[in-house]
Amino acid sequence: MESILLGVGVTALAGALATVAGAAEDTESNIGSQGDPNSQVQLAPQMGYIHRIYNKAVSGEPPAYGLWVTIGAGVAWAFMATGMNPVLAIVIASALAIFVQGVYAATAYLGRTSSLAKFEQPVYIDLLKSVTSVTMAHAFVAVFTTVSMCYLLNAALGHPFPLPLLGIVWGIALGAAGSATGNPFYGKERQYQSQMFGAGVPISASGNIVRYAEAGQRSSLDNGWFTAKLGGPASGVCFGLIVFLELWRTVLFEEAVGGWGAIIVGVIIILIFMIIDRYIETWARKNYGPYVKAEEASA
């Protein structure tokens, strides 16, 4: 009973760390314009729309965060092997991983923006200084909390995978959760606020992103204010639920049905979410139907 209570407590703590990690990851990604919506940022100057949006996407979020979390977990693992305090090791290792992230972000922004010079897109030095530091701060929170979660799995739950391998798995999962959940808030609700809700992005509007804020030209920091309220928490809840449900079913049902209990519960959870998703989709289609223009609807 004590081991189960300990496992449930660790599961709750790991889920809380994952929630913070997901929120920080999505906010960092949206401020840096990394992920699916970045294609419109890259396209904008080619369509004649000069902007002040940071542009650091060279890879998608899953491989990027897989790299940074793995660096943090691997370096922390090496430090702890020498006898360093685990908390200090994770902090220093996460800082070193974020140094790599900062170099990645700065060189990606300079390289991608310089490639658009023939379309008269300038490199804004003030943007490089301000946004790079903000993305590094958010990425540090995401990497630190994820590496801490991986350490809990090893130290408290006795997970058989070493810390660097857990970093690969959960780093990719973290980036995937933010990319799938938070990007729509940035891409559809923020970049294309000028389009009617539900209208999608027509071909004629490709690259015509919203470039002006309430006062002056919009920068990536303005996008961060928006997505930290919506996309960040949504991504945090998504990643937190993934971690919590994964650990919860393992802690409680791993010994049931000859070791198959956790797998059976996992399949049941997937089926429940599939039913809920299908119900929401059919409900929305039935109540709202396809998008039509205002004049068509009134006629």
Q: What is the dihedral of CA 139, 231, 170, 256, to 10 degrees?
A: 150
Q: Residue 251's pLDDT is what?
A: 80
Residue bearing tokens 């993934």: 242
Distances in Å between the Cα of 185 and the Cα atoms of 26, 29, 47, 58, 107 are: 10, 12, 23, 21, 26
Residue bearing tokens 């990606």: 108
Phi, psi angles (nearest 5°) of residue 124: -90, 110
Three-state SS annotation for the chain: CHHHHHHHHHHHHHHHHHHHHHHHHHHHHHHHCCCCCHHHHHHHHHHCCCCECCCCCCCCHHHHHHHHHHHHHHHHHHHHHCCCCHHHHHHHHHHHHHHHHHHHHHHHHHHHHHCCHHHCCCCCHHHHHHHHHHHHHHHHHHHHHHHHHHHHHHHCCCCCCCHHHHHHHHHHHHHHHHHHHCHHHHHHHHCCCCCCCCCCCCHHHCCCCCCECCCCECEHHHHHHHHCCCHHHHHHHHHHHHHHHHHHHHHHHCCHHHHCHHHHHHHHHHHHHHHHHHHHHHHHHHHHCCCCCHHHHHC
The answer on pLDDT for 135 being more than 90 is yes
The answer on pLDDT for 188 being more than 80 is no
Q: What average pLDDT does range 266-285 have in this prediction? A: 92
Is residue 224 very low, low, confident or very high in pLDDT (cuts 50, 70, 90)? Answer: confident
Beta-carbon neighbour count of residue 30 at 10 Å?
A: 33
Q: Please enumerate in sequence order all residues whose Cβ is within 8 A of that of 192, keeping only pairs 6 or more positions apart, or say none.
A: 40, 201, 205, 209, 210
% of the chain beyond a pLDDT of 70: 95
Q: Which residue has the higher pLDDT, 168 or 203?
A: 168
Q: Residue 278's pLDDT is what?
A: 95
List the single range of 85-89, 92-96, 214-218 with lowest mean pLDDT.
Answer: 214-218
The answer on pLDDT for 87 being more than 90 is yes
CA atoms within 13 A on the CB side of 88: 7
Q: Residue 268's pLDDT is what?
A: 92
List the single range of 5-14, 28-37, 194-203, 223-232 with lowest mean pLDDT.
Answer: 194-203
